Structure 1
Amino acid sequence: MASLRNTPAPAADPRDGYLDAARACILDVGWRRTTLTEVARRAGVSRMTIYRAWPDMPTLLGDLMTREWGEVVATRAAAADVVTAVVDTVRALRDNELFLRIVELDPELLLPYLLARRGRSQDAVLELVAARVAAGQADGTVRTGDPATIARGLLLACHGFVLSAQTMVDDQVSETDLDEELRHLLTVALAP
C-alpha cells in the first residue's frame, strides 16, 4: 500500500487562476475593455493557453459568473431556514464587487439572463431553493406545491431585489428596509 504521506496533493485547476485574472481585469476596466490577451498577461501565461480554455470572452465570462455567484450562494445556502438563506443571498449578490462592477459598466451582460434564458448559476440556485422548499414541505414549515415552481417564483421575485433595489432606496426607505420587506414577502409566500 502506498504511503499517503508521499502522495502529492491534487493540483489546483489552473483555470481558477485564469478566472482570477479575468475578474481582476473586469474590476479594473469592465468587461467590454477586457480581452483574452489581457487576461493571459495578468495570469502570466500565453494567449494560446487562455484560448485553449475559452474560445472567447463571453464563454470566459459565463464561467466566471457561474463560479462567483455559485460561491456566494453556496456560502449562504446552509442558513437555518429558506427565507434567511434567500434574503442573505440577495444581499450578498447585491453587494458583490464583481456584480456591482458589471451593473455599473456593462449592465447589458445581464439582460440575456433576465429576458432570454437561464444561466448555469440560476439553475444551481433553483436546484438549491427547490431542495430547501421540499425539505420545508417535508417538515411542515413550507406550504404545499411543486418545489420547482415555487423556487422559480421566488427567484423571479428576488431578481428585482438584487437588480433594482438601488432604485427604491432614498431618504424614506433603506436597503435594510427592503431586505425586511423581502423577508416578509417570502415568509408569507411560503407559509403553510
Structure 2
Amino acid sequence: MTPIRHNSSDSDAVLDAVRDCVLAVGVRRTTLTDVARRAGVSRMTLYRRWPDVRTLVGDLMTREWVDVATRAIPERRPEADARGLLVEGLVAGVESFRAHPLFRKIVDVDPELLLPYVLDRRGASQIALLELLANGLKEGHADGSVRVGHPERQARALLLIVQSFTLSLRTMTDEDDADLSSAAFLTELRSILERTLTP
C-alpha cells in the first residue's frame, strides 16, 4: 500500500516523531500510538496514511538516506572533474551513513529490517541513489573522466560496492591497528572507485 501524501510538513512531523521513537526504543518496540502521541496527531490519521510501523519506518529511511547522500555530494569546483567529485561524494556518503544515528540504531537493534534491501529488492532510497549515481556518471562520460559504459549498470555496480562497505565494514576493521582501521578501508574504497571509473 502506498502512503497517501498530503502536506509535506505534516509528513515531516510524523517522520520526525517516528525517528525519535526508533532512536529511543528501536523499531520493534515502536508503535503507531507512540508515533501519533509524539507527532500530536490521531492514530486514525496515521492509519489512513501508513498501514503499519514498518511502512512508516520505510518512508523515514528513504527520507534520511537520500538526505545523507545528497549532503555528501561535494560542491562543484573548477579544478575537479566529475570522477573526482563522484568518488569524493561516495566515500563521504559511506562515512556519513555509518555515523548516522538512525542507521547505527537499526544495525545494532533491528538489522533484519535492512535484509530485504540487501537480499530481495530495491527500496525507494536505493532507486533515488541510483538516479544520483547515473547522473554523476553521465557527467563523467561527457567530460571524459569516467570510463564510458552503460550508466545504469555502472550505477548499480557502484551501489553494490558502497553498500558492502556501508553495511559490512565493521566486520572487517580492527581499530587498534591503523592498517586495518575504518579510515584505512575508506582509503581503500577510494582507490577501488578510482580504478573502477578511470577510463
TM-score if structure 1 supplies the norm length? 0.91
CA distance in 2, matches of 1:32, 1:127: 31
Structure 1: gaps (5+ residues):
1-10
User: Letter of the aligned partner of 1:93 in structure 2?
Assistant: F
Equivalent position to 1:126, from 85, 107, 130? 130
Match of 2:193 in 1: 186
Does the C-alpha gap of structure 1 residues 79 and 86 become closer, same or farther in structure 2, counting only changes over 3 Å? farther
On the 8 A contact 2:74/2:88 being kept in 1, the answer is no
* Pair member with larger Rg: 1
Q: What's the C-alpha RMSD, in Å, of the aligned pairs?
A: 1.2
* Alignment gaps of 5+ in structure 2: 1-6, 77-84
| 2:114 aligned counterpart, secondary structure | helix
Counterpart CA distance in 2 for 1:157 and 1:76 is 17
Partners of 1:27 and 1:58 in 2: CA distance: 15
Size of the alignment, in residue pairs?
A: 182
Structure 2 Cα separation of the partners of residues 112 and 182 of structure 1:
25
Deviation at 1:13, TM superposition (A): 2.0
Moved more, 57-66 or 21-30: 57-66
1:164 paired residue number? 168
Which amino acid in 1 is paired with 2:42? S
CA contact (8 A) 2:117 2:123 kept: yes
User: 4+ runs of 1 displaced by more than 2 Å?
Assistant: 77-80
Q: Say if 2:28 and 2:110, in contact at 8 Å, map to a contact too.
A: yes
Match of 1:57 among 53, 58, 82: 53
Distance between the aligned counterparts of 2:151 and 2:41, measured in 1? 45
| Offset at residue 65 of structure 1 (A) | 0.5
Q: Conserved in 2, the CA contact under 8 Å of 1:126 and 1:155?
A: yes
- Normalising to structure 2: TM-score of the pair? 0.88
CA deviation string 1:6-40 (max 9, x = no partner):
xxxxx752111011000000000000000101100
Aligned partners of 2:52 and 2:165: how far apart in 1? Answer: 31
Amino-acid identity (%): 53
C-alpha contact (below 8 Å) 1:15/1:53 kept by paired residues: no
Partner of 2:145: 141
Correspondence 1:29 to 2:36? no
In the alignment, is the contact (CA less than 8 A) between 1:77 and 1:128 conserved in 2? Answer: no
Show the counterpart of 2:87. 83
Choose 107-116 or 164-173, whichever is displaced more: 164-173
Partner of 1:107 in structure 2?
A: 111
Measured against aligned partners, the alpha-carbon deviations of 1:105-151 in whole angstroms (never above 9, x if no partner) come to: 00000000000000010011111001101100110000011011111
Q: Is the 8 A contact 2:18 2:35 kept in 1?
A: yes
Aligned equivalents of 2:29, 2:135: Cα separation in 1: 39
